[in-house]
Amino acid sequence: SQQGEEDPQALSIQEGENATMNCSYKTSINNLQWYRQNSGRGLVHLILIRSNEREKHSGRLRVTLDTSKKSSSLLITASRAADTASYFCATVNTNAGKSTFGDGTTLTVKP
Amino acid sequence: DAGVTQSPTHLIKTRGQHVTLRCSPISGHKSVSWYQQVLGQGPQFIFQYYEKEERGRGNFPDRFSARQFPNYSSELNVNALLLGDSALYLCASSQLGAGNTEAFFGQGTRLTVV
């Protein structure tokens, strides 16, 4: 299976609810990044969390990283219809010079 | 400031042909990475260039090649196109090597091979 696998594959919630997406990975990383993609367009960077960090916040976004469990989660609070998109985590190994993406979580926020 | 720009935005090619995709990074960014995204999947890493040198390569056949120019723009070349090469090709730029800082993505080039 892939490095950087997101769970669930699809999530549907009502506006105002919180959305939680999880990401698991297999190898050591330098950092982990979360991205958003609308309808097959370019990816928008959301948050970068380094391997020595445990939690990071940005507006309505909260990311956690547990390197012992090789997992990360993205929480979107008070969701809006505009948050409807696919969300990807990317694990980064700077020595290998590459970022590895999972297949994403498709979030639908119903108005 | 202009973001990452990719050209062309859409392209239709025939099997066996060759294609060149172009990417201009954000001014001041020295690293460019290329990704292939097939419909319904996440982006797959193809190449990373930093300071005009290849710093990373994904599991793609030798039909795929790339280079970075002195102005840090980059080209991705694909020879002998196959139907399976149809995808969205994404370019990302960052100030430092891949992953050290956040990467900014272009809108991609949608390649269709018929």
Give the number of other Cβ atoms within 10 Å of residue B1's Cβ. Answer: 5
What mean pLDDT is reported for chain B? 92
Interval B8-18: pLDDT, tens:
999 999 999 99
Taking the CA of residue B65 and the nearest CA in chain A, the distance in Å comes to 16
Contact at CB, A103 and B40, closer than 8 angstroms: yes
Contact at CB, B107 and A92, closer than 8 angstroms: no
Taking the CA of residue B91 and the nearest CA in chain A, the distance in Å comes to 9
The residue that leads in pLDDT, B45 or A93, is B45
Which residues lie closer than 8 Å to A89 by C-beta, 6 or more apart? A4, A6, A21, A23, A25, A32, A33, A34, A35, A72, A74, A101, A102
Asked if residue B49 has pLDDT above 50, the reply is yes
Question: Hey, is the C-beta of B79 within 8 angstroms of any chain A C-beta?
Answer: no
Taking the CA of residue A55 and the nearest CA in chain B, the distance in Å comes to 17
Q: What percent of chain A has pLDDT over 70?
A: 92
Asked if residue B111 has pLDDT above 70, the reply is yes
Which chain B residue's Cα is nearest to A46? B102
pLDDT at residue A94, as a whole number: 67
Quick one: tokens of B64? Answer: 């795929």
CA distance B32 to B67: 10
pLDDT at residue B40, as a whole number: 87
Question: Hey, is the C-beta of B101 within 8 angstroms of any chain A C-beta?
Answer: yes
Interval A40-91: pLDDT, tens:
788 999 999 999 999 999 999 999 999 999 999 999 999 999 999 999 999 8
Residue A96 binned pLDDT confidence (cut-offs 50, 70, 90): low
The closest CB to that of B105, out of A4, A43, A104, belongs to A43
